[in-house]
Chain A
Amino acid sequence: AAGVIQSPRHLIKEKRETATLKCYPIPRHDTVYWYQQGPGQDPQFLISFYEKMQSDKGSIPDRFSAQQFSDYHSELNMSSLELGDSALYFCASSLTELAGASNTGELFFGEGSRLTVL
């Protein structure tokens, strides 16, 4: 079965550079999430999109932006990178139940993109 695809798997950048991470959700999944996980930390929610519209926002820095495109893939853009941005970035997708427009489903995570900022 198709899973969530993230690219690149590994990325090394210098401080103040820009990075872009891509995520391809499971086909027919209408909700995409981005999480940041530092070493030994829990996944921190950054942002989510439902049907290509931003649906919720967490602790995403102003230097970061994200969008979901017409083919449902999503990109996380990170600018002016800092050492503290080094982390594993997970994308997850789910199928949101239409009744009540509430999301009570399982999150399917990609393998993650490991960003190292030097």
Chain B
Amino acid sequence: GENVEQHPSTLSVQEGDSAVIKCTYSDSASNYFPWYKQELGKRPQLIIDIRSNVGEKKDQRIAVTLNKTAKHFSLHITETQPEDSAVYFCAGYTGGFKTIFGAGTRLFVKA
């Protein structure tokens, strides 16, 4: 089955700096890679996703890149703000009806 590894586990940046979170996946058949943001005590919510036929996708300050050959994808947040502080999960989907999450990255944005 799919295995998703995510790093770093914790990331601390200064407000205005960029943050990059990386994930690798094991199943080359994976075709959908979402990123979820979870604030403390709240539910995970999708912030951006990418499908396997696309190399990069941007939405304002966030972007995701996918390297299918290397089987890794990354989340990029530019001009970070304190409200970006949260736990970010990458996920992989291969088929069937389950999405496998990475272990999460706790992002701290210092004002």
A residues at B contact (CB < 8 Å) = 31, 33, 41-45, 48-50, 55-56, 58, 90, 96, 102-104, 106-107, 109-112
Contact = CB atoms under 8 A, between A and B. Distances in A.
A35 to B, nearest CB: 8
Interface residues of B, number: 23
Interface stretch (B45-53, B63-71, B72-80): B45-53
> Chain A's interface: helix, strand, loop or mixed, by majority?
loop
A109 B96 contact: no
Most B CB contacts (10 A, CB to CB) among A31, A45, A90 go to A45
Contact of B98 (A33, A42, A102, A109): A33
Contacts of B31: 102, 104
Given A110-B43, A112-B43, A50 B97 contact: yes
